[in-house]
């Protein structure tokens, strides 16, 4: 997907999901890295609501696929801050917190520590 395209709303969400799914199914490192770069660039664009939540969810999965749990954790921390600034609803904040818990759990297993709730 060309990051210079100006896509908005649901179309962007659908496009990013399709591209990401294709990248993971292909198991090609360069495709997963392209998906990561695209999703990282989307965080800084003027997106909000469910779309931002989708991007954060997909970005976490990209980092998991790459085995980069520290970056996954950092992306979710940063995304949580963005959600807190942009959020109109408490549910988005809850989604961000859930993502952080999942990443913390992954980091714990990755480093051989006991899984924390």
Alpha-carbon radius of gyration of the chain: 14
36 falls within a domain: yes
CATH of the domain at 46: 1.25.40
pLDDT value at position 82?
56
Asked if the structure places residue 2 within a domain, the reply is no
Domain that holds residue 77: 9-110
For the chain, the first-to-last Cα distance in angstroms comes to 37
Residue 79 forms part of a structural domain: yes
Mean pLDDT of 67-91: 62
Would you tell me the crossing angle of helices 50-66 and 90-110 to the nearest 10 degrees?
Answer: 10
Does 116 map to a domain? no
In this predicted structure, what is the pLDDT of residue 113? 43
Reported pTM: 0.40
Residue 4 included in any domain: no
d(CA 115, CA 117) in angstroms, rounded, equals 7
Q: Per the domain annotation, does 117 fall within a domain?
A: no
Q: In this predicted model, what pLDDT tens digit does every residue of 14-54 receive, in sequence order? A: 666 666 666 656 556 666 677 677 777 766 665 555 566 66
Run of H or E residues at 82 = helix 69-86
Backbone φ and ψ of 116, nearest 5°: -100, 145
* Tally of domains within the chain: 1
CA atoms within 13 A on the CB side of 82: 21
């Amino acid at each position: 997907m060309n990051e210079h395209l100006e896509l908005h709303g649901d179309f962007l969400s659908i496009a990013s999901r399709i591209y990401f799914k294709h990248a993971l199914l292909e198991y090609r490192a360069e495709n997963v890295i392209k998906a990561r770069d695209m999703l990282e660039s989307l965080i800084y664009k003027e997106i909000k609501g469910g779309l931002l939540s989708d991007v954060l969810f997909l970005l976490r999965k990209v980092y998991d696929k790459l085995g980069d749990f520290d970056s996954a954790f950092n992306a979710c921390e940063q995304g949580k801050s963005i959600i807190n600034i942009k959020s109109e609803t408490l549910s988005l904040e809850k989604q961000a917190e859930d993502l952080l818990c999942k990443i913390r759990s992954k980091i714990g297993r990755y480093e051989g520590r006991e899984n924390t709730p």
